[in-house]
Amino acid sequence: MANLTTTITPMTEERRAEITACRAASTPGRWYWDIRPRSNSVSLLSANHSTVLDATRWGFGGATIRMIDAQNHWLVSGIHEDAEPHPGRKHHAGWTLTSRRPDAVFIANAGVFVDELLEEVARLQAENNRLENEAQQYVRGAQKLAQRFTDKPAFSEYYDAAGNCHRCGRFFTVCNGCHE
């Protein structure tokens, strides 16, 4: 756990903005699965019960996923209707496509988003632990310094007005207590 600050790079503002924009473009609120065994249907619904994703017949023997249409948020249409070639794979456009619909993009990237956000949480927790340990060291040092001067004769007996030790000449914070 201590090496996390060196193995995990901080999430950039740009990446945080990409994740935020992707989520903002998708259907808001919590989503839940609506499984209906009697009608053999499965849907992913939003908190206000609107369809995010469901399945429907496509052709004679297949099925497709229907999602909220990118242009009209209330019209549900087949995900294949506005599919496009995968980035960098246009030569495969005849047999493999991807969807750029906001909910589809969000669903496809959800695992990566969670992994990156968990890494960022781990990095920030490690940094927080490091800073807490550092702060505790400063507090212990201040307590030790305060203890040096509490049950002792007056400060001026050991140090001059500038804070230098009468015996070793060092400043009081670095003097090793040579006068004790």
pLDDT tens, position by position, 12-35: 999 999 999 998 888 888 888 888
pLDDT for res 134: 93
Distance CA 41, CA 22 (A): 28
CA dihedral angle for residue 161, residue 165, residue 166, residue 170, rounded to 10 degrees:
-110
Q: What is the pTM (predicted TM-score) of this model?
A: 0.58
pLDDT for res 36: 84
pLDDT tens, position by position, 45-71: 888 888 888 887 777 777 777 776 655
pLDDT for res 163: 77
Query: pLDDT in tens for each of the 180 residues of the chain?
Result: 333 334 567 889 999 999 999 988 888 888 888 888 888 888 888 888 888 888 877 777 777 777 766 555 555 566 666 677 777 777 777 767 777 778 888 888 898 999 999 999 999 999 999 999 999 998 888 877 777 666 555 666 777 777 788 788 887 777 776 766
Among all chains, which residue has been given the structure tokens 């908190």?
47
The SS3 of residue 53 is strand
